[in-house]
């Protein structure tokens, strides 16, 4: 190995390992959305806390409530999947997800922090293509959550405790 590779490894933050959602139906609370320049290039990462979970596959337990899981866009077509997640979180239409909106959600004001999003994670079959065998991957479906007055008050309390500005200021 070259000295530059060794230097990069020695100065890197130790990985604690990402947790991913298992098949199931979820209500998730966003903890943070950020960008990271990593091994596979620049990526967007959303850390979410499982608020509620429901088993949807007979032989697979869903991810338990309380666990912090990650959503990122590092894989092929990951940008589109991450965009779908952000659209649901922001309650935005396709044309409204611009580079400016994406930048706003990853900056220090963290307008997505503590917002809720609903998601379904399910097995998705990819057929054989270009001589490569088919396989089963995880599919994702996201939907927005309009918080009740009580939920909105709880979100604002959590934002204040985390020293984040109120939602109205974070979205400005």
- Classify residue 115 as exposed, middle or buried by CB count within 10 Å of its CB (0-12, 13-18, 19+): buried
pLDDT level of residue 39 (50, 70, 90 thresholds): low
**What is the structure's pLDDT at 126?**
86
Q: What is the mean pLDDT of residues 129-143?
A: 87
pLDDT level of residue 45 (50, 70, 90 thresholds): confident
pLDDT level of residue 135 (50, 70, 90 thresholds): confident
Q: What is the mean pLDDT of residues 5-31?
A: 70
d(CA 69, CA 83): 17
Cβ of 142: how many Cβ atoms within 10 Å?
Answer: 19
Q: pLDDT at residue 42 above 90?
A: no
Residue 159, C-beta contacts closer than 8 angstroms, at least 6 positions apart? 113, 114, 165, 166, 167, 170
Helices 99-106 and 78-90 pack at an angle, to 10 degrees, of 80
Q: pLDDT at residue 138 above 70?
A: yes
**36 with 2: CB under 8 angstroms?**
no
């Amino acid at each position: 190995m070259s000295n530059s590779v060794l230097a990069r490894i020695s100065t890197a933050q130790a990985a604690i390992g990402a947790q991913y959602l298992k098949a199931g139906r979820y209500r998730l609370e966003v903890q943070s959305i950020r960008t990271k320049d990593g091994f596979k290039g620049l990526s967007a990462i959303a850390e979410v806390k499982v608020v509620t979970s429901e088993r949807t596959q007979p032989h697979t337990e869903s991810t338990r409530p309380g666990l912090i899981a990650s959503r990122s866009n590092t894989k092929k077509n990951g940008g589109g999947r991450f965009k779908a997640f952000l659209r649901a979180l922001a309650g935005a239409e396709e044309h409204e997800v611009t580079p400016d909106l994406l930048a706003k959600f990853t900056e220090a004001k963290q307008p997505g922090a503590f917002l809720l999003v609903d998601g379904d994670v399910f097995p998705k079959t990819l057929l054989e293509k270009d001589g490569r065998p088919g396989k089963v991957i995880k599919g994702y479906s996201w939907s927005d959550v309009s918080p009740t007055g009580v939920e909105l008050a709880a979100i604002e309390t959590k934002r204040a405790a985390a020293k984040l500005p109120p939602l109205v200021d974070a979205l400005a």
